[in-house]
Structure 1
C-alpha cells in the first residue's frame, strides 16, 4: 500500500559510477507481453532474462546473485527463499528493532542503504557491486523509495526490476514475487513456501465464510495525520480489494481525492464522521497517526466503531507473500470474530 499519504511522506557524478558497471544491461522491451524468466540451470550458469511490469526487458549473462531490494520487496523475496545483500526503505525502528515493513528479513545480516523516504546512499549502493535491484511500484513505472533525482544513476549501476503493486489482484502480485524468487534461484517447492501457500488459501476461505455469515458487519480502513483523516478507496489497495472480493462489507468512497493520485478520500477532521462502520482498521505503520492521538479529535471520538472500541490494526505495508498475508488475514478474522455488527444504527 502506498505510504501515508505519499505526498506527506544529490546523486554521485556519472563518471564516478561508471567504474562500477553492472553485469549485463537492459534492452528495449520485447514484443512478447507476459513477464517470464528464463529457465536458469541448476548451477545458476547461463543467460538470465526477465521482463518486468514496466515492460523492461533485462538480459544478464548469468543469474543475479547480489540482489538489493526495497524493504517490502526484500520481505517478499525473503519469504520465497531469496536473501538480498542490502535493503532500503523502512527496515529499522528508532530503537534499533526491526520495522514490520521488512517482514522476516534478518536486518543484522543485510546492508542498509537507506531507512526513510528520500534516503538512498548511492555511494554505498555502488560499493556493494549489485547485480540487480528489485522494487515495488505504486505509481506506474516509478520505483518506490528510489529518489527521482537518483533514478538515472541507479540504472547505471545495475539493472532494476519493478513489480506493479497497485491496480493488480493481490494473488497476482504475490505470484509475481514467487516467480521472480524462483528465477533468482529459490526453490518454489520448498516446504516453508508450500506451507505458506496453504495457509494463505485457508485464511482467505475463512474470511469468505465469515463474510457470508455476517454480511451486516461494516468495515472501514483509515489512516490519519494531524490535519486529515484518509479513508481508503477500495479499488486502489490490492489487499482491501481482495477482502471485498471475498465478501467483506467494506466502506469505500465513491471516488478518491484526485490530489492524492488515488488510494484515499481525504477528509478534514471536522468531516471525519462522513462514513460510519462497525469496525475501523487503522494504519499500523510507524509514521501513521496512532489511535490514542486520534482520540483527541471530537469527530473521531463520536464514530460508532470508536465508541464501541472496535479499532484494529491495518498492516498497510505488508509484504506481498503468502506468509505475510496469511498472517494478516488470520489476525483480521480473529478481530472480526469478536466484533459486534450492530454498532451502526
Structure 2
C-alpha cells in the first residue's frame, strides 16, 4: 500500500495521517504463451479461449466464466506479481505513479504507460473508468480476511456488478506459498509457469534465500528490528503477521519480536509513542521505504530515535514493505538485504 502503512494501518486510522486521499489492451497474457495446465485452452484463432474457466479464490469464492478471462484489472501489488509471471493487466489501481511521474516501486516492473490507471492513492477508485475497460476479472491481495486491498468498501457493490473479483490472501501465510499462489493464478490466466524468465526468477529466489540463511547462521548475534512510522508513533513489526519478516526469521535471522498487538490495534504492529521508541534495541533497523511513509531523515528529528544504537551506528536500511509477491521481487529484496547485513556490525547492542 502507499497512503497508509501496509497491513491494516488503515484500520487504525493512520491513512489520514499519512496524507491518504479519499477522493485497453487486447490480451492479458504476455508472449510467454499459454500454460498447458490452464483450465481453458487457446482457441484455434488465437483470440479468446474456448471452454469454461473456474477459479476458487482465498475467500472460498468460486468464479466461473464461459471463457478464460483476458482483460484483467489488478491492484498494483497484484498487478506487479502477475506481471512477473507473464500476465499483462489492462488496468491498475493503488500506488503505481510517483509525484514526479515515475513508476512507484509498489507496481514492480509493470509498464505504467501501457495500462490504464483507475486510482493511484488510498480511497481512489474510478468505477466509471473501470467499467469502461470492460474487465473480465479484478484481482487484489487481502491483508484482512475477505477484504480486497485498495477496493473501497462503499463502491464494492458497483464493482462486483461489473466483473468478478479474485482475492489472494497475503497475511497469515508463508511467503513462498503466497508467491506460488500468484503463480498458479497466472498459469490459470494463460501464462507459462515454465517460461525462461519465470524459471530464472525462481532459481534466483532460491539462491537469495540460501544466501540469507547462510549469513544468519554465521551471524547469530546480529539483531534486526523492522519499523514504519508516522509523526505521532513508531510501529514495530510483529513478525508473525508479515510474511516476508516471518520467512527471514525462519531462515535464522534474529529479528526483534515485539509484544503481540491487541485486537483493538488491528494487529501487525506494536504501536509505540515516540517517547517509548527505545523500548527495543537492535544492531540494525529496517525502515519502511514506501514513498508516503515517514523517512529516516524525518525520524532523525525525534530524539529517542536518534539515540537508538543502530541509528548512531549508521545501520539503518530500507525495508521494502510493499514488495510484490513474486520470485523476482523478493529475490531482489533478499539480495539487497544480504549485502547490507553482511557489512553491518553485530556488536552495536551488547
Alignment pair present for 1:284 and 2:289: yes
Alignment correspondent of 1:120: 125
Partner of 1:71: 76
Kindly report which structure 2 residues correspond to 1:193-272, keeping only aligned pairs within 5 A, or say none.
193-272=198-277
Q: What is the count of residue pairs matched by the alignment?
A: 318
Q: List aligned pairs for 1:10-25, cutoff 5 A.
A: none
Q: Report the equivalent of 1:83.
A: 88
Distance 1:119 1:105 in 2: 19
Residue of 6, 14, 28 corresponding to 1:8? 14
Deviation at 1:38, TM superposition (A): 6.0
TM-score, reference length from structure 2: 0.89
**What runs of 5+ residues in structure 2 fail to find an aligned partner?**
16-36, 44-48
TM-score, normalization by structure 1: 0.91
Aligned counterparts, 1:329-340, within 5 A: 329-340=334-345
Q: CA deviation at 1:261?
A: 1.1
| Partner SS for 2:201 | helix
Matched, 1:296 2:307: no
* Matched-pair contact (CA < 8 Å) for 1:135–1:161: yes
Give a deviation string over 1:265-292, Cα, whole Å, max 9, x none.
0000000000000000000001110011
Residue among 100, 105, 111 paired with 1:100: 105
Instruction: Tell whether the 8 Å contact from 1:71 to 1:90 is kept in structure 2 after alignment.
Output: yes
* Partner residue in 2 for 1:41: 41
Q: Tell me if the contact between 1:257 and 1:264 (Cα under 8 Å) persists in the aligned partners.
A: no
1:306 matches 2:318: no
Following TM superposition, by how much is the alpha carbon of 1:260 offset from its aligned partner in structure 2, in angstroms?
A: 3.0
> Per-residue deviation at 1:258?
3.1
Residues 53 and 163 of structure 1 are in contact (CA less than 8 Å); yes or no, is this contact kept in structure 2? Answer: yes
* Aligned 8 A contact 2:38 2:187 in 1: no
| Gap runs ≥5 in structure 1 | 10-36
Q: Would the aligned equivalents of 2:82 and 2:186 in 1 still touch at CA under 8 Å? A: yes
Deviation digits for residues 129-165 of structure 1, max 9, x if unmatched? Answer: 0000000000000000000101111110000000000
Tell me if structure 2 keeps the 8 A contact 1:38–1:50: no
Partner in structure 2 of residue 190 of structure 1? 195
Give 1:29's aligned residue: none
2:38–2:190 contact (8 Å) kept in structure 1: no
What's the CA shift string for 1:302-338, capped at 9, x where partnerless?
A: 1000000000000000000000000000000000000
User: Are the aligned partners of 2:172 and 2:243 in contact in 1 as well (CA < 8 Å)?
Assistant: yes
CA contact (8 A) 1:38 1:49 kept: no
**1:141 corresponding residue in structure 2:** 146
Q: Tell me if structure 2 keeps the 8 A contact 1:222–1:232.
A: yes
Asked if 1:157 is matched to 2:157, the reply is no
Secondary structure of 2:231's aligned partner: coil
Partner of 1:15: none
Q: State which drifts further: 333-342 or 255-264.
A: 255-264
Task: Please state how far the C-alpha of 1:259 moved relative to its aligned partner.
Answer: 3.0
Q: Which residue of 1 aligns with 2:27?
A: none
The answer on whether the counterparts of 1:90 and 1:101 sit within 8 Å (CA) in structure 2 is: yes
